[in-house]
Amino acid sequence: MPFATEPPRPHAPAERTAVILCNLGTPDEPTPAALRRYLAEFLGDPRVVEIPRLLWWPILYGVILRVRPAKSAAKYQSIWMPDGSPLKVWTERQAKRLLGHLGERGQSVLVRYAMRYGKPSIATVLDEVKAQGATRVLVLSAYPQYSGTTTASVIDAVGDWSATQRAVPELRFVNGYHDDPGYIDALARSVRQHWQANGRADKLVMSFHGVPERTRTLGDPYHDECQATGRALAQALGLSADQFLLTFQSRFGKAKWLEPYTEPSLIQLAGQGVKSVDLICPGFTSDCIETLEEIDMEARAAFLKAGGERFAYIPCLNDREEWIRALGDIALRHLQGWPTRVQAPVS
């Protein structure tokens, strides 16, 4: 009697490799209501505000979320683009261009972008790529310098999603690339291009996002990595120590943050007779509220009011060709050993 044949099984989805470019996030609209939702998620992250919840919640919900959304909404309105928030626009373009760049280099991978706070959330995008057959996921942080307040928070969000999954994809993380040659070269090219078009200022200021000083004493490498980026960029540009200044911006609250602070430093430079400055924000790979409003509007006004004569903001890398190439190199290094071709279906 012949053996019975096994009934046919549905084809398993082709296994894929995915790259998720993760940035900080942005409100959906430049309105107080949207800012309230966004700030509640952002400032509610214990990685961002390391204050015991019993002390922090009354401050956050009783004071900050009652006052700050309207002020922040006005700032976002001043920099909002036709296609939405600049951070979203540039991150989305980076992901699309990275997909094309990797395809030109013979790589068949899914590339998506996600936001740590706001939309599209990391969990949503992980759900999407998993549904498309991704069994291997590279999480590529948009933060060149590692910090527990940013990079580690992305890892937390991926871990929270993983805890809800029966079948968890293989996961890899790019924790930073503060001294990556391609990243440094892209920054240096942007500065040189600015100098060629506009002339060179008396001083180049490199402004990084600040974090509380205590994070450094607790072992966070962020400060050291910012310094290393600054030194590498200065070396690439052939600058001596007196031709550039590294500062930190975006203080929040009364605690001591990493110094020197950007705006007071600009005021001090003007008081010392420095007439012109060029300012670049190497820690931001996409222009956003911190670069377009805080730096190119507020910091500019402070420098000029203090006696400075010319202030030039050098835009973030955004979707510059040399940055997309560098981003592709970074991704490929971390994809090594994973198949990056569409696999044949398993029958």
Closest to 262 measured CA to CA, from 240, 291, 288: 291
- One-letter identity of residue 67: V
pLDDT tens digits for 28-64?
999 999 999 999 999 999 999 999 999 999 999 999 9
Dist. CA 73–CA 254, nearest whole Å: 23
| pLDDT of 6 strictly over 50 | no
Q: Give the span between the Cα atoms of 305 and 308, in whole angstroms.
A: 7
- For residues 163-192, give the mean pLDDT: 98
Write the CATH number of the domain with boundaries 181-314.
3.40.50.1400
Rounded to the nearest integer, the mean pLDDT of the chain is: 94
Q: For 256-289, how does the pLDDT look when each residue is reduced to its tens digit (9 = 90+)?
A: 999 999 999 999 999 999 999 999 999 999 999 9
The amino acid occupying position 179 is: D
Residue 27: asked if its preceding bond is cis (omega within 30°), the reply is no
The answer to whether the annotation marks 209 as part of a ligand binding site is yes
pLDDT in the model for residue 253:
79
Task: State residue 255's pLDDT score.
Answer: 86
Task: Work out the angle between the directed axes of helices 86-104 and 321-335 (0-180°, nearest 10).
Answer: 60
Residue 90, pLDDT score: 98
Evaluate whether 17 touches 339 at the Cβ level (below 8 Å): yes
Give how far Cα 169 sits from Cα of 129, 166, 223, 333, Å: 10, 10, 33, 19
- Would you mind telling me the total number of residues written for the chain in this entry? 347
CATH fold of 16-30+80-176+322-335: Rossmann fold (3.40.50)
Instruction: Please check whether the two domains, 16-30+80-176+322-335 and 181-314, share a CATH topology.
Output: yes
pLDDT in tens, 205-219: 999 999 999 999 999
Among candidates 86, 97, 96, 99, which has minimal Cα distance to 24?
Answer: 86
* 315: number of Cβ within 10 Å: 17
Residue 290 annotated as lining a ligand binding site: yes
Residue-level pLDDT at 15? 87
pLDDT mean over 329-338: 97
pLDDT of residue 345: 52
Report how far residue 253's alpha carbon sits from residue 248's, in angstroms, rounded to the nearest whole number: 15
Q: In what order do the strands lie in the sheet with 244-249?
A: 244-249, 203-209, 276-280, 310-314
Residue closest to 261 by CA, chosen among 284, 295, 234: 295
- The residues, any chain, with a CB within 8 Å of residue 80's CB and separated by 6 or more, are 30, 86
Q: Report the distance separating Cα 248 and Cα 208, nearest Å.
A: 5
Q: Tell me which of 10-14, 131-135, 226-230, 306-310 is least confident.
A: 10-14
Say which residue the tokens 């999480």 belong to: 139
Q: How many helices (H) and strands (E) does the chain have?
A: 13, 8
DSSP assignment string, 118-151:
SSSBHHHHHHHHHHTTEEEEEEEES-SS--TTTH
Lowest mean pLDDT among 9-18, 100-109, 191-200, 315-324: 9-18
Q: Please report which helix (H) or strand (E) contains residue 162, including its range.
A: helix 151-162
* Whole-prediction pTM: 0.93
Give the pLDDT confidence score for residue 74 in this predicted structure: 97
Q: How confident is the model at residue 13 (pLDDT cuts 50, 70, 90)?
A: low
Q: Where are the domains of the chain?
A: 16-30+80-176+322-335, 181-314
pLDDT the model gives residue 14? 75
